[in-house]
Homo-oligomer: A and B are copies of this chain.
Amino acid sequence: MEARQRLRDAGLRPTRQRLALAELLCSMGGRHLTAEQLHGDAQAHGISVSLATVYNTLHQFTRAGLLRELVVDAGRSYFDTNTSPHHHFFIEATNTLQDVPEDCVTVSTLPPPPEGMTVSSIDIIIRVKEKVE
């Protein structure tokens, strides 16, 4: 159905490339990807989009709440197709992300944010490395 409608709802015109990218994103198991990767995938599926458009689209989707941007690695952005609140492992050896299984992490006692501020999101990143025997 609905890719078309979801875009509309988000106030985004359902253009050919936005639809194609949206479908790619939804149909993919691998949920954490970089612009570069999505661009590659698109090409592999015969969808012709420029890298610039991929970037624009990813940000538009993020603004529209269809994606979540993860800042994990200096100088590289990851986008998560799972927008519900959850946290991540970052495997340093492979520069790869993995979801932390649901409610395995609980943050107790949220400290009050500074004066006049509200929490907008909480990101927990558990960096893991090869175990050394």
Query: Taking beta carbons and an 8 Å cutoff, which residues of A are in contact with B?
Result: 69, 71-77, 89, 91-92, 98, 100-101, 104-111, 113-114, 116-132
Contact = CB atoms under 8 A, between A and B. Distances in A.
B124 A128 contact: no
Identical chains in the assembly: 2
27 contacts: A71-B71, A74-B76, A74-B77, A89-B114, A89-B117, A91-B117, A100-B111, A105-B108, A105-B110, A106-B107, A106-B109, A108-B108, A110-B126, A111-B126, A113-B126, A116-B130, A117-B130, A118-B129, A118-B130, A118-B132, A119-B128, A120-B127, A121-B127, A122-B125, A123-B123, A123-B124, A123-B125
A81 to B, nearest CB: 18
Contacts of A129: 117-118, 120
A132 B122 CA distance: 18
B120 A128 contact: yes
Given A69-B74, A107-B106, A114 B91 contact: yes
A131 B116 CA distance: 6
B106 A131 contact: no
